[in-house]
Structure 1
Amino acid sequence: MTTFIPSLTLPAAVFAHPAASILLPIALGTAPKKPKKTYLALKQPPYRPPPQVFGPAWTVLYGLMGYSAYRAYSTGMSPLASAEHQLLTKHGATLYTIQLGLNLVWMPLFFWAKRPIEATVDIVTLTGTVGYLTYTWGQVDAIAGWALAPYLGWLGFATYLSAGVGYLNDWNLADKEVPASPTNKNTKYVDEKET
């Protein structure tokens, strides 16, 4: 079991306020633009989604993540909650903050630093942390645990994509970029054949 580490945990006010809890991960996670030109230049594993899927998917997942945080915290820290549930809630708050940091680090590692090995290690660590968080907060409130389930599933898929792209590109993403078409039409992945 992890411990509650106040210096590694978002303030309680973020968890306790529904709008702050839900909007914080959405604002942090969806603010930067996805580097589409780099994404299209990479050899991709099968079943990769088109670039336009990521924005809406992550917005929903960040919203569910924030709702889970609010739900777990308001249930687990209520005056009627047991001491065990309060402790689990605080442990989960630290895990939540750590996973949010790991989540936000992945894109700069992968696309801007072009470090697919480190990005894959990050996402594997993130997936494990979210799995443990889902279990922890699921003990406090079943709905909070289930609200993290789509995020956990997506992270499993994202881990496959991260490792697959790294492997197919020889773990080297340096100088991988394709020009986007001016109309955003007919832009292909580097490994797609012309039809």
Structure 2
Amino acid sequence: MSSSDFQLPAFLLSAARIPLVAVGLPLGLGLLSGYPTAKVVQSDWYKACRIQFTHSSRSSPAPAQVFPIVWPLLYLSMGYASHLAVNALDGASSPSVKRSDCMLALALYYAQLGLNILWTPLFFGAKKTGLALIDSGMMAAATFYMTKLLAPHYPAASYLLLPYCIWLSLATYLNGGIWWLNRGAHGSEKQE
């Protein structure tokens, strides 16, 4: 099967076709996934984590108040980008490179969305910062490639994804720093 024969399940394409569903899906899943985070950041485990790369062990490169503002905006932006991408796919007249790029980009969109939703339970729930770092790296790679595929043919969708790419770079950097500075410090981390 060639890449031009690749098809996403119809329900995933249908979800992205409806603007409210396209933006609501990542926002809703992100809110559900992130809901338990507020309790965990108040826990002894998180308070004991070294969380940054400067001399003080508690100052963070990004204030905690930024995350609940930025993530919903990113979820809305990525959801609308999926809507624009599926509209571009629907407007493609033949199974050309543009069409196969768009189909692959939409597949990567859903893959990175799944990885995004998995990150919080890995990091905050299971306290597996190393596994969360792998997840974050895979999420960033999928998002960067998705953005690259959309850029030449569907620039509006790729512009909506650029802030997400930047944020994922920061988030992966922070996750990597937390893993590096705390490896072996907690009982759950010794198993990684």
- Both proteins in one fold, TM over 0.5: yes
Q: How does 1:1-195 map to 2 (within 5 A)?
A: 4=6, 6=8, 11-31=12-32, 32-33=34-35, 34=37, 35-38=40-43, 39-46=46-53, 47-78=60-91, 80=93, 83-174=96-187
Instruction: Report if the CA contact (8 A) 2:23-2:75 is conserved.
Output: yes
Change (3 A) 1:52 1:10: farther
Instruction: Report if the CA contact (8 A) 2:137-2:172 is conserved.
Output: yes
1:74 & 1:165 partners in 2: Cα distance? 40
Could you list the per-position Cα deviations for residues 71-115 of structure 1 after superposition, in whole angstroms to 9, with x for gaps in the alignment? 111123215577332222111111111110111111111111111
1:25 & 1:165 partners in 2: Cα distance? 26
Instruction: Report if the CA contact (8 A) 2:3-2:100 is conserved.
Output: no
> Unpaired segments of 5 or more residues in structure 1?
177-195
Instruction: Report if the CA contact (8 A) 1:77-1:89 is conserved.
Output: no
Moved over 4 A (4+): 79-82, 171-176
> Unpaired segments of 5 or more residues in structure 2?
54-59
Q: CA deviation at 1:69?
A: 0.6
Q: Which amino acid aligns with 1:96?
A: Y
2:179 & 2:130 partners in 1: Cα distance? 7
Deviates most, 79-88 or 33-42 = 79-88
Greater relative contact order (Cα < 8 A, sep 6+): 1
Q: What TM-score comes out, normalization by structure 1 length?
A: 0.80
In the alignment of these two chains, the number of paired residues is: 175
Q: Which amino acid aligns with 2:171?
A: A
Identity of aligned residues (%): 29
Q: What TM-score comes out, normalization by structure 2 length?
A: 0.81
Secondary structure of the structure 1 residue equivalent to 2:127: coil
Q: Which has the higher helix share?
A: 2
Q: CA deviation at 1:48?
A: 2.6
Change (3 A) 1:18 1:165: same
Q: Which amino acid aligns with 2:169?
A: G
Q: Which amino acid aligns with 1:6?
A: L
